[in-house]
Amino acid sequence: MSMQPEGEDLRKAVKWISDQRNFDNKKNVKELISDASLKFNLSPKDEAFLSRFFFEK
């Protein structure tokens, strides 16, 4: 079973973080998640989803 983000802003955040990592894979994922949360106005629940999504792969 794969994890699918719910909500357009959350999908945009996943894509944005992935794009940032593809551009520079040395970027800190925790910082990117924090930046994405602010950029896309995500809830704490959405931010927790992003952490699980990127760290449980």
Residue 1: pLDDT band with limits 50, 70, 90: very low
> Which run of H or of E encompasses 3?
none
User: How many whole angstroms from its chain centre is CA 21?
Assistant: 11
Residue 35: pLDDT band with limits 50, 70, 90: very high
Mean pLDDT on 9-13: 95
- pTM comes to 0.84
Mean pLDDT on 8-16: 95
Comparing CA positions, the residue from 31, 45, 39 lying closest to residue 12 is 39
Give the three-state DSSP class for 47.
Answer: helix
